[in-house]
Amino acid sequence: MKTVLVIAAHPDDEVLGCGGTIARLTAEGAQVHIVILANGLTSRSDFDAAMGDAALRLHHDRAEHAGKILGAASVRVLGFPDQKMDTVPILDITQAIEREIDSLQPTTVFTQHGGDLNADHVITYRATLTATRPMAGRSVQRVYAYEVASSTEWAFQSFAPHFHPCLFFDIAGTLEKKITAMQVYESETRAFPHPRSPEALRAIALRWGSAVGVHAAEAFELVREIR
């Protein structure tokens, strides 16, 4: 995995879904780029439109800071409307992802899971699959879907596809970097027992680790791999 692209719907999804894996891959020499599709803020009831630009800059600066903690080579926020990605033609979202793929030429793509409760996650998954369709000459050889605490499990497998992980990254050595990066997102972190609390994130990693015989792991669903 020399060049990796992580596609996220919102700032913090990249950390929740694969923060430990990002940190591990960058430590092993991979170039990991993060592309965040939506602005992550404007749908909130407490969003102050008068302070909109400053608030968005701060939120996106936090995304960059989190990316640096994990060792990411770049972080880009494209600014699609938060929790309103269904108001944008999916072609526009797909083409935005295609432009990033054409520029970065990743061999591996991580993206949201298609059965999440959050509609923006579902749209991100669909757009990513379209943008990475396996045509001759394309760089992408494998696509993985990650879970996001407080979205994937909160769907309670009511929406297809269900999350069926079959690939696990050992993150015993990078779990604390993931926790540190998540804490950069002050407005997204919650107190236990919320799934986005540090305690819950550690518990999720330990649970997946115990399932596959390591101390801590992140789980992924293999969408497609070409060897």
Query: What per-residue confidence (pLDDT) applies to 45?
Result: 60
pLDDT, residue 27, reads 98
pLDDT tens sequence across 176-189: 999 999 999 988 89
pLDDT of residue 46: 64
- In the chain, what percentage of residues exceed pLDDT 90? 89
Distance CA 115, CA 4 (A): 23
Whether residue 174 is predicted with pLDDT greater than 80 in this model: the reply is: yes
Could you tell me the pLDDT band of residue 51, with boundaries at 50, 70 and 90? low
Q: Check residues 41 and 44 and name the one with the higher pLDDT.
A: 41
Q: How confident is the model at residue 1 (pLDDT cuts 50, 70, 90)?
A: confident
Instruction: Indicate the pTM of the whole model.
Output: 0.95
pLDDT tier, 28 (very low <50, low <70, confident <90, very high otherwise): very high
Nearest to 185 by CA among 41, 23, 11: 11
Which domain, by its residues, includes 153? 3-225
CB burial class (10 A; 0-12, 13-18, 19+) of residue 180? middle
Alpha helix segments (H runs only) across the chain = 13-27, 52-70, 90-104, 119-131, 175-184, 198-212
**Number of domains observed in the structure of the chain:** 1
How far apart are alpha carbons 81 and 74 in whole angstroms?
A: 21
- How far is 143 from 111, CA to CA, in rounded Å? 8
Task: Return mean pLDDT, the chain.
Answer: 95
Residue 42 has pLDDT above 80, yes or no: no
pLDDT band at 49 (very low <50, low <70, confident <90, very high): low
Written as six digits, the tokens of 51 are: 């302070």
Position 52 scores a pLDDT of 78
CATH assignment at residue 137: 3.40.50.10320
pLDDT, one tens digit per residue, over 193-219 is 999 999 999 999 999 999 999 999 999
Q: For 48, phi and psi rounded to 5 degrees?
A: -95, 105
